[in-house]
Structure 1
Amino acid sequence: MLIKQLKIGDLIAKVPVIQGGMGVGISRSSLAAAVAKAGGIGVISGVHVGYDEEDFEKNTLNANLRALKKHIIKAKENSNGGIIGLNLMVAMNNYEEHVKQAISAGVDLIISGAGLPTKLPSLVKGTSVKIAPIISTSKAANVILKMWDRKEKVTADLIIVEGPQAGGHLGYKKEELQNIDNIDYDKEFVEILKVAKAYGEKFNKEIPVVAAGGIFTGEDVLKYINLGASGVQVGTKFVGTYECDASQSFKDTYINATKDDINLVISPVGMPGRAIHNKFIQRVSSTRPKITKCYNCLIPCNPKDTPYCISEALINAVKGDIDNALLFCGANAYKVDKLYSVDEVIKELTSKL
């Protein structure tokens, strides 16, 4: 049986798997290229992609933009003609500059969440770059597609539906996530399929809808394909790969985690996410660390009252300073038992198709 391809306009992925964008630095050119080469869609996270550039501390924006171009080009070169996307958070500062840099570097697809990407269509206008909002509800899907239609006379090329078991910056309230059994993600997913169909008919195009959050096995993938998904987005499982850009220490936190280690946390921008419990989480729950530098990364963040610097905590994570790090993860991180190759992960995810 032939595995179903994921078609996004003229972009065709041989396998219907998008690798989730994970920042800071967890998914850069190494992981993205490997996933794209294996037939999926590799995604670079645009959050502080230049964290290891020499001038990052003094010249943060320029370092990030330079690194973004470098990693997109490198991923494209190493992907054997595969599809490379970029994940950008709407809540980040300098969003527009990152979009423009990604386009100039030859990115194929821009995926955007942590807010509604209202300006994205105007920024890619006149290019072949595909755009995809990340949403969690049919209401959000309606809002963004209606806005794009009204303002720009365009619609989404792809919709990613992030469920309550995903990692960071979720579109749910913490109280909702504490009662996760009350969230009927499958029902919401079907409603979003209807929204995508309506706008697809209006614009005479197919809008693929992709399921995301907590997808870990071939059975999970088959379930959503049968529900009507065109594909899936997977993040956590790709952390447990040799090709993942994170330090071995970061990968080991997933491998060694138990289910009880995974906690709900509120990031400094007020959005809930999941993280592996560690000394850092313990410390910031009772003491506010001294913030010595602001990286000016997120629009809603104020260094005067933020509980901790999320940039510093995530940079520590990717570098392997685990005791001083925020270890974002999906709900199934404890199921990562050892390192696999990207090819092995793709093979397992598509094993039931």
Structure 2
Amino acid sequence: MIIPQLKIGNLTTPIPIVQGGMGIGISLSGLAAAVANCGAIGVISGVEPGFNFEDYYKNKYETNVKALAYHIRRAKELAPKGIIGVNIMTAINNFEDMVRTAVKEKVDIIFSGAGLPMKLPELVKDSMTKIAPIVSSGKVAQLICRQWDKKHHYLPDAIVVEGPEAGGHLGFSLDQLDEMENFSLVKLVREVLEAIRPFEEKYDRKIPVIAGGGIHNGKDIGDVLSAGASAVQMSTRFVATYECDASDAFKQTYLNAREEDVMIIKSPVGMPGRAIKNEFLDKVYKNEKPGDIKCINCLKPCNPKETPYCIADALINAQKGNLDKGFAFAGAKVHKIDKMMSVRDLIQELMEDLKKY
């Protein structure tokens, strides 16, 4: 297969890969810049980016805004010719402020999921920043396009469709996850392409579809590109790279993971998620509420009085390597990773594999 360029408006990248935003603190400016320097799109996670800044626990909202600005600037300095994006979940409490900050810092593109980002077009108005909602079905893609068209006369600059094999919080019910064969990524890509076609025809322009969830090698990339996707989103494989912003202990969790260790959990925010089983999760599922857990108050759906633990605090501990007080989210194919690599070597391997497709 000839490697296609990814074009999103006036943005063009020679490698059809978007590195997924991974929070908390797994993909910050270090990883995003390394990916962007290799000709793909590097993405900073907008979930609690200020967690390791001095004033985080004193004034988390202001600190997160400052941290996001810092990481966008740093990534752009490290990758001056690269494309830098941010992933800002609609479910975070300071969504609008974080989007405005990203726009002010002239980030190239904002990816947004974990809800319907209906106000996103007005938040990037009169800027060069592109916006790409993250969806799990053609129905949701159609709904967003219809509402953006009606209220803002705006279409997504790109759409990311995430399948059920993704890591972290998932846009599928537990029943749907039990029937994953009915929600294959190739099938979802075709469904989204069909759903957005009327809007592409109305505006006479293409909306690139980026497919993620379970992408591990060149064949996986080739399968979704052949189905009509313009690029892939990859997250899990970028964790086992030297440039990933997570601790070595977090990365080792990926290297040690077996297929039977990958499990679906019910997150405190009410969504299913895919994670790597460990003692912390074992205790949670035995209803042993972990001690010394701080409520970060990060996500709108979370009720601190009812939750068995703070998802943000657990993920911060995991990022720092304290896996006894947290856990690692990961994609369904994490068990296939068996070595550390540089970002450049990983992308080169994937593209050489894709050429053989």
Deviation at 1:283, TM superposition (A): 0.8
Return the letter of the residue paired with 2:323: I
Offset of residue 2 of structure 1: 5.5
Contact 1:23–1:47 (8 Å) recurs in 2: yes
Tell me if the contact between 1:73 and 1:106 (Cα under 8 Å) persists in the aligned partners.
no
* Cα distance, 1:206 vs structure 2: 1.6
Question: Matched residues in 2 for 1:98 and 1:292: separation?
Answer: 25
**Which residue of 1 is the match for residue 21 of structure 2?**
21
Counterpart of 1:349?
Answer: 350
Sort the Cα spacing of 1:120 and 1:291 in 2 relative to 1 into closer, same or farther, 3 A: farther
Give the letter aligned to residue 157 of structure 1. D
Where structure 2 has 5 or more consecutive residues not aligned to the other structure, the ranges are none
Within 5 Å, give how 1:87-126 maps onto structure 2: 87-126=87-126
Gaps of 5+ in 1: none
Q: Please show how residues 1-353 of structure 1 align to structure 2 within 5 Å.
A: 3-286=3-286, 287-290=288-291, 293-351=294-352, 352-353=354-355
For residue 170 of structure 2, give the secondary structure of its aligned residue in structure 1: coil
Q: CA deviation at 1:191?
A: 1.7
**Structure 1 residue 292 displacement after superposition:** 5.6
Residues in 2 aligned to 1:274 and 1:260: alpha-carbon distance in whole angstroms: 12
Cα distance in structure 2, aligned partners of 1:230 and 1:196: 14
Instruction: Measure, in 1, the Cα distance between the counterparts of 2:51 and 2:195.
Output: 38
SS at match of 1:238: helix
- Aligned partners of 1:291 and 1:308 also within 8 Å: no
SS of corresponding position for 1:298: coil
Cα distance in 2 for residues equivalent to 1:164 and 1:342: 25
Query: Is the partner of 2:73 in helix, strand or coil?
Result: helix
The one-letter code sitting in structure 1 at the alignment partner of 2:142 is N
CA apart distance, 1:175: 2.1
**Could you tell me which amino acid in structure 1 is paired with residue 272 of structure 2?**
P
- Once the two structures are TM-superposed, the CA of residue 199 in structure 1 deviates from its matched residue by 1.3
CA distance in 2 between partners of 1:184 and 1:213 (Å): 9
In the TM superposition, what is the alpha-carbon distance from 1:340 to its structure 2 partner?
A: 0.4
Deviations 1:74-132 (A, max 9, x none): 10111131100000111110100000111111200000001111110010011111000
CA distance in 1: counterparts of 2:131 and 2:45, whole angstroms:
15
Structure 2 counterpart of 1:70, one-letter code? Y
Q: Give the drift of 1:3.
A: 2.5
Alpha-carbon separation, structure 1, partners of 2:7 and 2:74: 24
Contact 2:19 2:40 survives alignment (8 Å): yes
Question: What secondary structure sits across from 2:169 in the alignment?
Answer: coil
**Closer/same/farther in 2, CA of residues 220 and 184 from structure 1, 3 Å limit:** closer
Letter in 1 for 2:305: K
Q: Distance in 2 between matches of 1:181 and 1:329?
A: 19
- Verify the 8 A CA contact 1:121 1:131 in the aligned structure 2: yes
In the alignment, the residues of structure 2 paired with residue 148 and residue 330 of structure 1 have an alpha-carbon distance, to the nearest angstrom, of: 30
Q: CA deviation at 1:188?
A: 2.6
Q: Which moved more, 1:182-191 or 1:278-287?
A: 182-191
Contact between 2:211 and 2:232, CA under 8 Å: does it hold in 1?
A: yes
- 1:197 Cα deviation from its structure 2 partner: 2.7
With normalisation by structure 1, the TM-score equals 0.97
Give the C-alpha shift of residue 225 in structure 1.
1.0
Aligned partners of 2:293 and 2:313 also within 8 Å: no
1:251 to 1:257, Cα distance in 2 relative to 1, 3 A: same
Distance in 1 separating the partners of 2:253 and 2:124: 38
d(CA) in 1 for partners of 2:35 and 2:202? Answer: 33
Q: Residue type matched to 1:211 in 2? A: A
CA distance in 1, matches of 2:351, 2:121: 32
Residue aligned with 1:89, SS: coil
What's the TM-score once normalised by structure 2's chain length?
A: 0.96
Post-superposition offset of 1:291: 7.0
Give the residue type in structure 2 aligned to 1:346.
I
Q: How many residues align?
A: 353
**AA of the residue aligned to 2:317:** N
User: What is the Cα deviation at residue 290 of structure 1?
Assistant: 4.9
Distance change in 2, residues 1:114/1:54 (3 Å)? same
Aligned amino acid, residue 26 of structure 2 = I
Distance 2:110 2:53 in 1: 23
Once residues 190 and 293 of structure 2 are traced to their aligned partners in structure 1, the CA distance between those partners, rounded to angstroms, is 47
The residue type equivalent to 2:318 in the other structure is: A
Equivalents in 1 of 2:40, 2:188: separation in Å? 25
Q: CA deviation at 1:195?
A: 2.3
Residue 60 of structure 1 and its aligned partner are, at CA, apart by: 0.6
Coordinate RMSD, CA, aligned: 1.3
SS of the residue corresponding to residue 350 of structure 1 reads: helix
Tell me how far 1:178 sits from its aligned partner. Answer: 2.6
